[in-house]
A and B are shown apart, each in its own frame.
Chain A
Amino acid sequence: MKKIGAGVLAATLAVSLAACGSGNGDSANNGGKGGKVTIELALSKSSQDSAFVADDLLREFEEKTNIRVNLQWLPAEQTSTVLQTKLAVDETPDLVQYNLMSAVSELNLERNFEILDNEAWVSRLENKEVLSAFGHVYSFHVSQDTGKQGVVYNKDVFEELGLSVPTTFEEFLAVCEKIKESGITPVFMPFKDNWAANVFPAAAFADYAAKNDPTLFDDLNANRKKWTDVPEFAAILEQQYEVYEKGYTNADILSDSYDMAVGKFLNKEVAMMFMGDWLIDNILEKDPSMNMGLFAIPTSEDAYLGSSPLGGQLFIPKKAKHMEEAKQFLDFMASKEIAQRIVDRQKYVPNLSDVTTPELPAYKQEIVDRYIAPQKMALTSEARTIVDSSELYRSLQDQFAGGKTAEEVLKAWDEKFNQLMKDKGAEGF
């Protein structure tokens, strides 16, 4: 069966290659009628709600510029494979919607995509970083509304117990103690899903690097430093373990899974969790009256909130057949009026200085005031890692199963990281 599995994989790859070769024949369609140009925008079928492909916007763009946008919907589970193939065989679309970080690790960003540093809209960007890699702006978006990661907490519980948001780890433990005394589980750890064990370290590592060693992740990715070289990393892993060891969590953390989290919060069984703000959205969807908030993982004083990379950016491949028209499309989307319309519609935090922020949900507004505006955000270590991190998750899970110490977790991950980077052909490994 396994044998067949590998074969089927190879066969599907071959089929998808063939499909791309033939299905794309008309992409260079310049159209004879009145010099109308058609540009191709390739995006995953799972991005159907993308703000950039709303019918009215595409129609307006066509009326204004006489450029038609043809959407190439790629099968969601094969988006990266199909795009890799398209880029490799020169059947390049003029625009691609993708996630910047994945584009770095999956689509060979530097080789395949155009640097956009000199576009007019770049000067209006508030947060260049969410669109940049290797020091250049490679992508476009009107939003800077990245996922945020920290401690999701039930504000009502805090209020009832007279607690305030902790700003140091000692305060955090004290808060846990108070909550535990009230009979509520302070922190929910669903570590059967091993990725959940990495939320705390990923944000805390980023906080450490942002404050003490801004080039740390670049150094790690270039093999100038090792994961085991940073004693603070081990200390952070020990802090997360301490929360569990002191009994501030659910009892059976390795049996509980992430899908139980929403229910635990709704039933007021738990008060906090190390997670992203998407969990708050999921909770509010079920019960809008819940009073939720997010604060930074308090491993250092006045810690930064972890941010995951922005997704759904637009890219222009270097080999785009209609480079100028594709750039016009970005100019159109970046224009004050259109950008404002998109931002209002999607309730985004805008990234263009002349676009105003719409009324945000209460928890989001709070994040803006407390973290985004004062620029107390740091891209998580997870986002800065350009190889698959699942071995780190497993090692973290092992830490909680009693199989590894914090140092051993980092040592195991360092070995795996080295190997994956070497396989990848990354420089310095």
Chain B
Amino acid sequence: MKLSKSLYSYYLIWPALIIYSVFFVLPAIIGLYYSFTDWRLDRDAIRFIGWDNFQRIFTDKTLLLALKNTLIFAVITVIGKNVLGIALAVALNMRLKSRNFLRAIFYSPSILSVLVISIVFTPMLRTEGTINRLFESVGLGSLSQAWLTDPSIVIWTISALAIWQHTGFQMAIYLAGLQSISKDYYEAATIDGAGSWKSFLNITLPLLLPAININLMLTLIGGLKVFSEVFVLTGGGPGNASQVVGTIILRAFGEGSWGLGTAMNTLLFAAVTLISIPLLIFMRRKEVTE
């Protein structure tokens, strides 16, 4: 197939390019500059201070905790959203009478605002809330937890909620991927005597790789940039126990340390890029074509 002829002039790229440059590239560059300054609420002049902001970031205990929490959140949600997403997609790709209804049900949390989810779940997650009462009523009272107020488990609770909310979205992408796999392969495999687990491993998974790649990237980037879930559920608390990089940046801005906040931003941007691009290249190589 050959499509060498360009249908439109390249000039048509300009409007988009200008908007992209003005609203993304330029602020990013300005932000990069400010991250090397002591730009502050109560200082008149903005001075260049080299790597001081970055040095401070890596010696700040709270920030290191935030970094750890961000990684926990990213890893847990990447695994949770994708494993459950594939499982749901495979299940709801079978011939079930209720499958359209079930697909809608599983997808629906992802269209809710995080704020709504916080309002619904915060009372449920209280120590005397619905979830703990449910455990108690079935004799599992020992599983009761202070879900959002115990510093050692709060980030896990938030991760679980994020998985609950977004798995349906990942499921939708996997469903689309599954439906593009030709039935012929499964037929041939059945004739060759492969069971359903074998055909899942050898047909479904490899041919689903493009969808897996997209989902891994989306969930990973989303996980590293986590902000709203933490912000609305705990505000980073109790204390600083559930701070993530996103909320710590807000904290720096709130304290008037604009230069420091921008430096954290730059760092987050760099981390997301450095993790996701090599991963993307690696995963691309693994993709197979039908």
Closest Cβ of chain A: how far from B124's Cβ, in Å? 11
Closest Cβ of chain B: how far from A394's Cβ, in Å? 5
A252 and B40 in contact (CB under 8 A), knowing A7-B26, A10-B27, A402-B151? no
Closest Cβ of chain A: how far from B252's Cβ, in Å? 10
Q: Which residues of B contact A387 (CB under 8 A)?
A: 255-256
Is A390 touching B251 in the complex (CB atoms < 8 A)?
Answer: yes
Is B28 touching A7 in the complex (CB atoms < 8 A)?
Answer: yes
**B269 close to chain A: CB less than 8 A:** yes
Is B241 touching A424 in the complex (CB atoms < 8 A)?
Answer: no
**B38 close to chain A: CB less than 8 A:** yes
Interface size, A (range)? 35 or more
**Chain B 32-49 near chain A by CB (<8 Å), digits 1 or 0:** 001000101111100000
Number of interface residues of B (CB under 8 A): 48
Output the residue of A252, A420, A423 with the most chain B CB within 10 A. A423
Is B151 touching A403 in the complex (CB atoms < 8 A)?
Answer: yes
**B254 close to chain A: CB less than 8 A:** yes
A252 and B150 in contact (CB under 8 A), knowing A3-B31, A394-B239? no
From the candidates B28, B34, B236, B257, name the one contacting A394 in the complex (CB within 8 A). B236
Number of A-B contacts (CB under 8 A): 115
**A255 close to chain B: CB less than 8 A:** yes
Q: Which of A330-352 contact B (CB under 8 A)?
A: none
How long is the Cα–Cα vector from A6 to B30 in the complex, in angstroms?
A: 9
How long is the Cα–Cα vector from A106 to B255 in the complex, in angstroms?
A: 12
A194 and B237 in contact (CB under 8 A), knowing A7-B28, A387-B255, A390-B251? yes
From the candidates A2, A106, A400, name the one contacting B238 in the complex (CB within 8 A). A400
Is A88 touching B44 in the complex (CB atoms < 8 A)?
Answer: yes
Q: Which of B153-171 contact A (CB under 8 A)?
A: none
Q: Which residues of B contact A391 (CB under 8 A)?
A: 251, 255
Q: Which residues of A contact B93 (CB under 8 A)?
A: none
How long is the Cα–Cα vector from A387 to B44 in the complex, in angstroms?
A: 16
Given contacts A2-B269, A3-B269, A106-B41, 13 further A-B contacts (CB under 8 A): A2-B227, A6-B31, A6-B265, A7-B31, A88-B44, A252-B127, A254-B237, A254-B238, A397-B237, A401-B239, A403-B238, A424-B42, A425-B42
Measuring CB to CB, which residues of chain A are less than 8 angstroms from any residue of chain B? Answer: 1-11, 88, 105-106, 108, 192, 194, 251-252, 254-255, 387-388, 390-391, 394-395, 397-404, 420, 423-425
Measuring CB to CB, which residues of chain B are less than 8 angstroms from any residue of chain A? Answer: 23-24, 26-28, 30-31, 34, 38, 40-44, 122-123, 125-128, 146, 148-151, 225, 227, 235-241, 246, 249, 251, 254-258, 260-262, 265, 268-269
